Amino acid sequence: MTLHDFDLNGERLHVRVEGTPELPSVVFFHSLGLSSAMWASQFDALRDRYHLVAMDCRGHGRSSNRGGFSIGNCVDDAAAVMNVLGVRRAHLVGLSMGGLMAAELAARLDGACRSMVLACSYCTLAGPEAQARIESTREFLRDRGIAAFAQMYMDGTACASMEPAVKSEMVALIATMKMDDYLQTLQSILNDDARPALSRASGVRTLVLSGRLDRRVTPAALQMLKNAVPHASVVELDRAGHLANLEDPELFNRTLADFWSTAPG
């Protein structure tokens, strides 16, 4: 695996790359609070068949956040990274908030998007409940700090099938975030709406991949996503929750590979 730190769009962007550029490219977008490190199992399993690219989004992992976090800014960053790496066409995979980015990039790439996987994701969560979550998170961070929050968040998110060592690694990742960056990201993703982008990307072959034990994306939010992409294939993993790639990595990886193997071009 090759690690890069690119200076692009006024930011320092940390990027993981695996596989040779001659293979079909896959661009991954991680979930809130985590980083490109969450895709380690996918990189290990798929590197012989695909050219894999994963970026730490602004304020996450080892990437800076000088210009502010937004879905649009992160997609600008991903497009710039793809340009530097010479990636012209790609499969896109986004988990949770990463699905919002995958949708926006798919809409921009148009015919250059080979396919899109929306994993444990949603169209929008905007509304009173989202605002309440922002305020409760702000209070928790102010009173107890990011380390305690990281543990509480993962305790309420990870399901029993996640290996304890993996869970501990994800707790540590969240705990490295600046509290202002976490809140800024949370506000952005809870007020975003991917439906316009999904409409523009309606010609992209799409898989909606969910975990039956997901405690973050409600059945109503998942159904809204399915309604926004009625042409999509749908797969639910029985042993996975909101972080399906970490909770059932073997089946997650096999589901991706099966989906891509039948994608045109």
The tens digit of pLDDT for each residue in 135-189 reads 999 999 999 999 999 999 999 999 999 999 999 999 999 999 999 999 999 999 9
Give the model confidence (pLDDT) of 23-34 as tens digits: 999 999 999 999
Task: Give yes or no for residue 253 having a pLDDT over 70.
Answer: yes
Q: Cβ contacts of residue 208 below 8 Å, gap of 6+?
A: 118, 121, 222, 225, 226, 229, 232, 233, 234, 235
Which residue from 148, 177, 150, 145 is spatially nearest to 65, judged by alpha carbons? 177
Task: Give yes or no for residue 258 having a pLDDT over 60.
Answer: yes
What is the spatial distance between Cα 169 and Cα 167, in angstroms, rounded to a whole number?
Answer: 5
pLDDT at 190: 97
pLDDT at 263: 66
State the average pLDDT over residues 107-119: 96
Task: Give yes or no for residue 251 having a pLDDT over 70.
Answer: yes
Give the model confidence (pLDDT) of 31-65 as tens digits: 999 999 999 999 999 999 999 999 999 999 999 99
State the average pLDDT over residues 80-104: 98
Task: Give yes or no for residue 117 having a pLDDT over 60.
Answer: yes
pLDDT at 1: 79
Task: Give yes or no for residue 265 having a pLDDT over 60.
Answer: no
pLDDT at 173: 97
What is the spatial distance between Cα 114 and Cα 227, in angstroms, rounded to a whole number?
Answer: 21
Give the model confidence (pLDDT) of 209-245 as tens digits: 999 999 999 999 999 999 999 999 999 999 999 999 9
* Angle, alpha carbons 103-105-108 (nearest 5°): 110
Task: Give yes or no for residue 16 having a pLDDT over 80.
Answer: yes
pLDDT at 262: 84
pLDDT at 203: 95
One-letter amino acid at 139 equals E
